Amino acid sequence: MKKIFVCVIGLSLFLPFGVARSGHASGTPAKILFEKKCSICHSIERPKSEAKTRKDWETTVTRMRNDHDGPITSDEAQMIIEYLAEHYGK
């Protein structure tokens, strides 16, 4: 019985690290924020299908936030811009 308990405790401690390394984790905080916030108004595939400069991403995210009432704070906008520029930049 003690052996089973030790195995269960060991697995519960190390399983999250194995999941993160195996690529099954949902992503970085910036990616999660991008997917959560931007998908409120449109498909995530829409921005992922474009390659823009950092300045272009700043313009786009600012427009979505200000002109289309995108539900993001200025700090969230900066995180999203950084993510988009890094992963979908020119």
Round to whole Å and give the CA distance between 35 and 24: 16
Task: Using pLDDT thresholds of 50, 70 and 90, give the confidence band for residue 3.
Answer: low
Is 54 within the bounds of a domain?
Answer: yes
Is 19 within the bounds of a domain?
Answer: no
Is 55 within the bounds of a domain?
Answer: yes
Place of tokens 């906008």: 77
32-81: per-residue pLDDT in tens?
A: 999 999 999 999 999 999 999 999 999 999 999 999 988 999 999 999 99
pTM of the model: 0.69
Q: Containing domain of residue 70, as a range?
A: 27-88
Q: What is the pLDDT of residue 40?
A: 93
CATH number for the domain that contains residue 35: 1.10.760.10
Q: What is the count of structural domains for the chain? A: 1
Q: What is the pLDDT of residue 8?
A: 40
